[in-house]
Homo-oligomer: A and B are copies of this chain.
Amino acid sequence: MIIDCHGHYTTAPPALESWRDRQLAGIADGNRTLPTPAPQITDDQLRETIEKGQLKIQQARGSDVTIFSPRAAGMAHHVGNQKTSEDWSRVCNDLIYRVSEMFPKNFIGVCQLPQSPGVDPRNCIPELERCVNELGFVGCNLNPDPSGGWWKEPPLTDKWWYPLYEKMAELDVPAMIHVSSSCNPCFHATGAHYINGDTTAFMQLIQGNLFKDFPTLKFIIPHGGGAVPFHWGRYRGLAQMLKKPLLTEHLLKNVYFDTCVYHQPGINLLAEVIPVDNILFASEMIGAVQGIDPETGNEYDDTKRYIDKLAVSEEDKRKIFELNARKVYGRLDAQLKKRGLI
């Protein structure tokens, strides 16, 4: 079985965006009536976007299940206020739930959290509980920068975040550390902010001792860990200068990297320096980088091709494609069983 741990619903029907427009228009103009509690989207509309989009690509590329969450750039936690974010998260997560019920063998949910700049992350707990306990979701996306490129929240190791981590540990769900869109003109969203977010999060974790307090907490750093594997010597050296244990001890029992690196040499490096037990297959399709790589004739984000070519054993490939995800997402096996996949 091939599990893609990083997929967003980037192809949602236009009614979702219209709903969001009306929600945000209501912030600008307080005289407006708020939109309906949820956008009017039929099952047929949902089915069409998935069948022509993510499902089609899954089948064409030969993966089986996608761990599926709302569009990352769409989260835009910096917009509006706590209520805006809570309403919007619920709407987005409900769509993921409907997709995961409609295509139970292909999509399993991960939720957007209703973060909001400066708001105590405790506000995310009810939605996390709802998604995990009621909707069968197996994880969440945690934005280390809800300000959208201004980086005004405390580092991920700060006690500010602890109530959320406690709940995650209790529920046995990991977080993918994933920023959203950038409203800082210095940072292109998918070309700078995303990658910087990954790099920044990992360095914050080096500086702290978070996993002493939360030994079972698990984070996935997407996009291959940002700059981290390329600079693995730098990070090992900085940990050493900071008198931290070896990274294998300090972080790698809790931190995992996905394979959203869109060329063969990058994936080769990832597998060379990061232990195979810490690598989870992912493509982030249909996502940031769409198009055919003229150097290969294949789509940039068809990452399965790169893993297939890796010079590692079949056993290691099975870890990357399946077993590591089942280990990191503690609730995944129950969902796979329920859906007749294992």
The chain A residues found within 8 Å of chain B, CB to CB, are 144-145, 149-151, 153-155, 184-188, 190-192, 195-196, 199-200, 203-204, 206-207, 223-224, 226-227, 229-238, 240-241, 261-263, 265-266, 268-269, 272-273, 288-291, 293, 295, 300-301
> In the complex, A231 Cα to B206 Cα: how many Å?
22
**Residues of B close to A186: CB separation below 8 A:** 144-145, 151, 153-155, 200, 204
Question: Which residue on B lies nearest to A299, using beta carbons?
Answer: B237
CB <8 Å contact, A190 and B262:
no
> In the complex, A74 Cα to B288 Cα: how many Å?
37
> In the complex, A263 Cα to B240 Cα: how many Å?
15
Q: Oligomeric state, in number of copies?
A: 2
* A185 in contact with B241 given A230-B229, A266-B269 (CB within 8 Å): no
> In the complex, A136 Cα to B204 Cα: how many Å?
41
CB <8 Å contact, B269 and A231:
no
Nearest Cβ in chain B — how far from A317, in angstroms? 20
Interface centre among A223, A238, A290 (most CB of B within 10 A): A238
**Among candidates B200, B233, B263, B268, residue contacting A261 with C-beta atoms closer than 8 Å:** B233
Nearest Cβ in chain B — how far from A30, in angstroms? 30
CB <8 Å contact, B188 and A240:
no
Nearest Cβ in chain B — how far from A231, in angstroms? 6
Question: Which residue on B lies nearest to A241, using beta carbons?
Answer: B291
Q: List 22 A-B contacts (CB under 8 A).
A: A150-B151, A153-B186, A186-B204, A190-B234, A191-B238, A192-B196, A195-B227, A195-B231, A199-B227, A224-B230, A226-B227, A227-B230, A230-B269, A231-B262, A231-B263, A233-B263, A234-B262, A234-B288, A238-B288, A240-B291, A241-B290, A265-B269
Question: Which residue on B lies nearest to A262, using beta carbons?
Answer: B233
**Residues of B close to A269: CB separation below 8 A:** 230, 265-266, 268-269
CB <8 Å contact, B191 and A196:
no
**Residues of B close to A206: CB separation below 8 A:** 188, 191
**Residues of B close to A203: CB separation below 8 A:** 187-188, 191-192
**Among candidates B151, B188, B234, B290, residue contacting A207 with C-beta atoms closer than 8 Å:** B188
**Among candidates B149, B204, B261, B290, residue contacting A230 with C-beta atoms closer than 8 Å:** B261
Question: Which residue on B lies nearest to A226, using beta carbons?
Answer: B227
Since A187-B200, A191-B206 are in contact, a sample of 17 more A-B pairs with Cβ atoms closer than 8 Å, ordered by chain A residue number, is A187-B203, A190-B234, A227-B230, A229-B230, A230-B266, A231-B262, A233-B263, A234-B300, A237-B262, A237-B289, A237-B300, A238-B289, A240-B291, A241-B290, A241-B291, A265-B269, A266-B269
**Residues of B close to A150: CB separation below 8 A:** 150-151
CB <8 Å contact, A266 and B153:
no
Nearest Cβ in chain B — how far from A6, in angstroms? 14
Interface centre among A149, A263, A265 (most CB of B within 10 A): A263
> In the complex, A188 Cα to B237 Cα: how many Å?
14
Which 5 pairs show the lowest CB-CB distances between chains A and B?
A: A233-B263, A233-B262, A227-B227, A230-B230, A237-B289
